[in-house]
């Protein structure tokens, strides 16, 4: 019998209240996902970044992220390492070769979904620590995240990830990583595309971080900016869960 991941999935729906006013209602449903039908994807958990604030916040999450990775792997789930733009570093790695060797599956046509604008303005690139020049400051995944060469896969291409999920009979995808309003939503392997392809996706909301500068609209704190993006995802894209659903401590 497969191990089960008991997840509290939080979504938000637009409803009419008792006074017939439109309001957003939070709903949480508890589901059990079979671990062998579940993958955990780490989005752009890089070993560096051009923004000091982004580095500090990711470093603060790394230990917890690695604990979640180990828990899902032990339960029987697949771990997908997706550090974009670093595939040269992993060219000979067994976890990279494994996904390349899998039969390719043509994804279905994208499902049509509403795609409203994000609730935070990151047109300044989102740094809250003063940097204005962007550059590639990474060449691999953060070394604090373990990679199992016997079981995990490494890819930064959505069709590769989708094909491997289909090949393994995986229906559910947990996503954690950075940055919530950028890569976590928009990469070809991330929330929007996987949802459009019909994958059952959930974001781990306490193990993600947005690129947002409080000097930009809506003029809230950085943490509030990340929270607004998480709520946006819950409304329009997929539910969220907490890491304590996977490791209850």
pLDDT tops 50 at residue 1: no
Mean pLDDT of 200-228: 98
Rounded-to-integer distance, Cα 62 and Cα 207, Å: 9
The number of residues making up the chain comes to: 249
Neighbouring C-beta atoms of residue 156, cutoff 10 Å: 20
Q: Give percent of the chain with pLDDT exceeding 90.
A: 97
Is 172:39 a contact under the CB 8 Å cutoff? yes
- Tell me the pTM: 0.97
pLDDT for 133 equals 95
pLDDT for 19 equals 87
pLDDT tops 50 at residue 82: yes
pLDDT in tens, 132-159: 999 999 999 999 999 999 999 999 999 9
Is 103:167 a contact under the CB 8 Å cutoff? yes
Mean pLDDT of 73-94: 98
Would you state the CATH architecture of domain 35-245? 3-Layer(aba) Sandwich (3.40)
Q: Which residue in 241, 234, 183 sits closest to 207, CA to CA?
A: 241
Pair of tokens at residue 40: 């955990």
pLDDT for 243 equals 98
pLDDT in tens, 152-188: 999 999 999 999 999 999 999 999 999 999 999 999 9
Is 174:193 a contact under the CB 8 Å cutoff? no
pLDDT in tens, 14-61: 999 888 899 999 999 999 999 999 999 999 999 999 999 999 999 999
Helix (H, G, I), strand (E, B) or coil at 217: coil
- The CA-atom distances, in angstroms, between 69 and each of 78, 149, 175, 216, 230 are 9, 14, 11, 34, 21
- For 165-197, b/e burial (b = at least 16 CB within 10 A) is bbeeebebbbbbbbbbbbbbbebbbbbbbbbbb
- Chain-wide mean pLDDT for the chain? 97
Confidence bin at 2 (pLDDT 50/70/90): low
């Amino acid at each position: 019998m497969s191990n089960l991941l008991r997840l509290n999935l939080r979504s938000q729906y637009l409803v009419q209240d008792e006074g017939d006013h439109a309001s957003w209602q939070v709903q949480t449903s508890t589901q059990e996902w079979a671990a062998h039908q579940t993958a955990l994807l780490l989005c752009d958990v890089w070993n560096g970044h051009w923004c000091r604030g982004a580095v500090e916040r990711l470093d603060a999450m790394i230990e917890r992220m690695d604990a979640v990775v180990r828990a899902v792997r032990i339960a029987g789930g697949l771990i997908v390492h997706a550090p974009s733009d670093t595939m040269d570093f992993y060219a000979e790695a067994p976890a990279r070769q494994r996904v390349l060797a899998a039969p390719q599956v043509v994804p279905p046509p994208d499902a049509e979904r509403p795609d409203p604008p994000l609730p935070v303005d990151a047109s300044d690139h989102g740094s809250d620590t003063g940097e204005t020049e962007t550059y590639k400051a990474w060449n691999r995944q953060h070394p604090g995240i373990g990679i199992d060469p016997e079981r995990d896969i490494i890819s930064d291409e959505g069709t590769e990830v989708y094909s491997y999920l289909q090949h393994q009979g995986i229906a559910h995808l947990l996503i954690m990583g950075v940055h919530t309003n950028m890569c976590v939503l928009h990469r070809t392997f991330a929330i929007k595309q996987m949802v459009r392809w019909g994958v059952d996706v959930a974001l781990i909301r306490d193990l993600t971080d947005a690129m947002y500068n409080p000097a930009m609209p809506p003029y809230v704190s950085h943490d509030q900016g990340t929270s607004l993006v998480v709520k946006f995802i819950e409304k329009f894209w997929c539910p969220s869960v907490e890491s304590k659903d996977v490791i209850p401590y």
